[in-house]
Each structure stands twice: as C-alpha cells, then as structure tokens.
C-alpha cells in the first residue's frame, strides 16, 4: 500500500482535474445561452468544439482513477471518493452534451426572429450554472450544507421550467411558426432542467462520500 501522503497527493490532483472540468462545463452552460440570446453562431460553434475537450477530460480522469484503484489499494473512504469522482465526471460530460445541443439550436434559429424576448430561459440557465458550480465546490470542499442548498435549488429550476412550458404552449396554439419555435425553446428549457438534475446528482455523491448514504434530507 502506498504511503498515505502519496495517496492524498494523487487524490488532490484528481480533484483538481474535476474542478477544471467543472469550470469548462459551467462556462459552456453560460455561453450556450449567451449564443442563443445574441444569435452568436461563432460562439455556438465554439461550444460544440468545447464538448470534445470535456470528453477528453473525462477519459483522462477515468484513466487516472483506474490507475489509482489498481496501484494504491485505497481503503473504504478513499474508494468511495474515487468511485464518486467517476460518476461525477460522467454527469459533467452529459451536461456538456446538453450544452452542445443548445448550441445546435442556436445555429438553427440564428436567422429567425424570435417569437418573444428570452427572459426566463437565461434566468433558468443562470440558476443551473450556479448549481453546477456549487455542486462541484460542495464535493471538493466536502461541504454538506452547500450540497443540500444546491439540492433544494433544483425546485426553483423546476418551477421556472413549468412557467416556460405554460407560456410556450400558449404561443404554440396561435400559429404553426410559433409552434415550431415554441417546441425548440421548450427543448432548450428541458436541457437546462436536466443540467440542474445532474447538479443534484453530484451533490448526492458529496453526501455519499461523507456519510455513506444518498439520503439528502
């Protein structure tokens, strides 16, 4: 078994890479909605390209975790930590996929006049991006209080989604063109709702590492 100091140093390096991945994902969330709001096709394409960076980071972190498990013989607490890391980076990769999908909608809508000003979708994206940031912070700093705060914030995102759904259904009933855009904006909001769900998954991993349970209450 490796000395404790060596194991802790390696786990710190893994944690740093997860933080880096989280920062890139958080920026992708913010940029994806900025590209949509501003009809910025160049930014949208950068987000699509950034998804490859996120995928590569996931692969590299996974490889490091497998090597750690094979060579360090971690004890129970360290084992939970590494297994949780592998789940978290999977969630972050999926968030990146959602950002890529939102960027693709930007490219489809860039030449169109929007049926309404974008207000609730950016507000929803802001909350979701903060949830992702705080979920990673809760894990890295082992902050149960922050993890539970993020978990509760998911209710606010769900509420905004319901408001967006009701509004867009109303628009969709007025004309075929409005129905088409309404459906696309609804899909975008659904992507953001899923991003918030993944943030809560990360918080559950924080609770699991610290308490050995997935109970958030």
List pLDDT tens digits, range 52-111.
999 999 999 999 999 988 887 777 778 888 999 999 999 999 999 999 999 999 999 989
217 belongs to a structural domain: no
**Does residue 216 lie within any of the structural domains?**
no
Measured CA to CA, the distance from residue 193 to residue 191 in angstroms comes to 5
Pick from 44, 19, 24, 21: nearest CA to 188: 44
Q: Is residue 51 part of a domain?
A: yes
For residue 85, give its domain range. 4-211
Q: Is residue 111 part of a domain?
A: yes
Which pair of tokens denotes residue 51?
Answer: 């998804």
Residue pair 41/110 in contact (Cβ under 8 Å)? The answer is yes
Assess if residue 87 is contained within a domain: yes
Is residue 104 domain-resident? yes
**Is residue 74 situated within a structural domain?**
yes
pLDDT digits (tens, 9 = 90+) for 2-60: 566 777 888 889 989 999 999 999 999 999 999 999 999 999 999 999 999 999 999 99
Tokens (6 digits) for 37: 């709001």
Q: What angle do CA 183, 189, 191 make, to 5 degrees?
A: 105
In a domain, 160, yes or no: yes
- CATH number of the structural domain spanning residue 176: 1.20.58.220
Tell me what pLDDT residue 4 has: 66
Q: What is the value of pTM for the model shown?
A: 0.92
Number of domains observed in the structure of the chain: 1
Residue 2: predicted pLDDT: 54
């Amino acid at each position: 078994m490796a000395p404790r100091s060596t194991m802790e140093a390696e786990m710190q390096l893994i944690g740093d890479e997860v933080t880096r991945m989280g920062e890139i994902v958080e920026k992708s969330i913010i940029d994806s909605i900025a590209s949509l709001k501003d009809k910025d096709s160049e930014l949208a394409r950068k987000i699509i390209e950034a998804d490859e960076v996120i995928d590569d980071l996931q692969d590299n972190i996974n490889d490091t975790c497998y090597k750690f498990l094979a060579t360090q013989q971690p004890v129970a607490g360290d084992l939970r930590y590494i297994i949780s890391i592998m789940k978290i980076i999977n969630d972050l990769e999926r968030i990146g996929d959602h950002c890529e999908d939102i960027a693709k909608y930007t490219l489809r809508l860039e030449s169109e006049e929007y049926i309404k000003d974008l207000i609730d979708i950016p507000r929803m994206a802001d909350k979701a991006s903060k949830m992702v940031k705080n979920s990673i912070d809760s894990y890295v700093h082992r902050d149960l209080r922050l993890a539970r705060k993020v978990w509760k914030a998911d209710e606010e995102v769900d509420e905004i989604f319901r408001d967006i759904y009701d509004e867009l259904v109303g628009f969709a009933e007025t004309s075929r063109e409005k129905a088409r855009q309404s459906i696309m904006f609804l899909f975008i909001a659904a992507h953001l709702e899923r991003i918030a769900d993944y943030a809560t998954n990360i918080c559950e991993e924080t609770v699991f590492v610290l308490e050995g349970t997935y109970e958030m209450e």
